[in-house]
Structures are given as structure tokens and as C-alpha cells.
Amino acid sequence: MTAVEVVIKLHGDLCEKAGTDTIKLPIDEDETIDTLLMKLGRRHSDLLEAILDPQTGELKSYYNILLNGRRVQQLRGIHTKLKHKDELAIFPPVAGG
């Protein structure tokens, strides 16, 4: 049986926190982005602290997560269901001028 997994692409300083820019994680049936982030946090706790608000457990407003190129806010937020071979891209805030 083939493993059911998603690919997480990290950008900016998140790559440094994880030590890589790409992470593949297995998912369960009916897995959502928030439960996937919890799995990711068990491996890289500083990533989870950076991405989610510790009070609410919701995505910090200045982070962007794209699921297959679409902002999760346009879907069901971090409660969006995942499927095999989905790709999540997580972007930290960008400053510049």
C-alpha cells in the first residue's frame, strides 16, 4: 500500500527553523491543515510557535499558507481537509521597502 502524504514547502526563515525547505508528512483520512500542523510541530516545535497563535490555535494573520496554490483563507482556513499529494506552501511575513 502506498503511503498517503502531503508535501510542505517552507519559505523564508521557516526553512532555517526546520533545517530544510521541503517536508513530506503522512496524512490520515479526513486530515485537516491544523492537525497536519500539529504533526509538524511535534517534529519542529519552533515552527508551530511561529505559525500559530498560542492563545487561539489559529493561523497568525501575517502568515500565508497556500494549498495547491490557493490561500487557505479562501477555502476553510486551517480546517481545510487534505488529500494525497496536496502541497502546502507556508510563507512568513515579508518586510521590505
Each domain of the chain, given as residue ranges in start order, spans 19-76+83-91
Closest alpha carbon to 86 in 20, 25, 2: 25
Q: What is the pLDDT along the chain (97 residues), one digit of tens a residue?
A: 456 899 999 999 999 999 999 999 999 888 999 999 999 989 998 998 899 888 988 888 889 999 999 999 899 989 999 999 999 999 998 766 5
- Please report how many Cα atoms fall inside a 13 Å half-sphere around the Cα of residue 57, on the Cβ side: 8
pTM of the model: 0.88
CATH number of 19-76+83-91: 3.10.20
Among residues 17, 16, 22, 13, the alpha carbon closest in space to that of 89 is found at 22
